[in-house]
Structure 1
Amino acid sequence: MNNLTDKFTGPGAKFLRAIQASMHFMIISSGCIMALTFFFVVVLRYGFNADLFAYEEWLMTVAFWMFFMASAVATHDNAHINADILGIFLKSPTLSWIRNIAVKAIELIVLLYLTYLGYIMVAEEVAAYPNWQTSIALKIPFLVPRLGIALGFLMMTVYTALSIYVLLKERPYSLPDETKVEAEG
């Protein structure tokens, strides 16, 4: 797996690793919450002929956070689904590198726009206080899932920008190590 944060050192890398760990925690916690909720829904419904009140509302919030944090992690790991047929046919490392930069640049442009829209969405919710839109039964503010969407897009944007930086820094070929050149000469 491509671990983007391993390519950085210093306090910024520690911060990136902390964010990555918190996203993994959110994803795992969300999965556990969803599994336990569905377990209790089934037990209550078929075992006691009862229903778990408004579970769909908190699951919606949990699902948004899980989905967008997982999307950010997939962007970090370069593990999201793609239909990369051209990459199979390109044999030249330089052409492959140029194509990777072009794809990442387009991805970055799209993500910058989506991050901006996410910011607008959250800013409108905050500006509407105290008249926030809320879920019907549990009165969960729409700000909560929308914040997960905005943060997910923000992290996808950050990771895409960092991957472009790494691509530019590493280049399509690796120059001979100076110590190897000296030893050979």
Structure 2
Amino acid sequence: MSSSFRIRRLDPAEARRAAPALAGVLLDCVAAGASVSFMADLTRDAAEAFWREVAEATDGRALLVAEDDTGVFGTVQVVPAWSPNQPHRADIAKLLVHRRGRNRGVGQALMAAAEAAARDLGRTVLMLDTITGEAGERLYARMGWVRVGEIPDFALMPDGRPAATTIFYKALG
């Protein structure tokens, strides 16, 4: 398989059409043990419904995907803060890479594109959380994100085990 891929932002119509492919990415990540808000019993219908909700969101979020000639295999979102006193802030959510696309620099490329999208949205402070000790934590630190701290037992892994979460932020220059 070629290692080439592209990152692009989906508009709402493209996001609706991509819901089945995005559901496949989410299902694969959950099956691989990623703690991304869903449990091991996640169904395809529920995964597609989640992505349809994302497509219909009116909060100004940016939905980015990684794709190659086979289709979508990665995604990340930039979700602007809703509160009036934080017009400069956004959260990074659901960085997901299907196992078929791992070890190709996709996570880093998606995060770089998310930072660029945040700048385009006028956001200068970004936040995210990730399971402590997982690959994401190393990626964010490598990309200059600042570790704020850790919250024990913050979320459940897909199999129900509690896991600590690490909070990061990044100020965009």
Kindly name which structure, 1 or 2, has the bigger radius of gyration based on alpha carbons. Answer: 1
User: Which structure carries more strand by proportion?
Assistant: 2
Higher RCO (CA 8 Å, separation ≥ 6 residues) = 1
Give the TM-score normalised by structure 1: 0.24
Give the TM-score normalised by structure 2: 0.25
User: Which structure carries more helix by proportion?
Assistant: 1
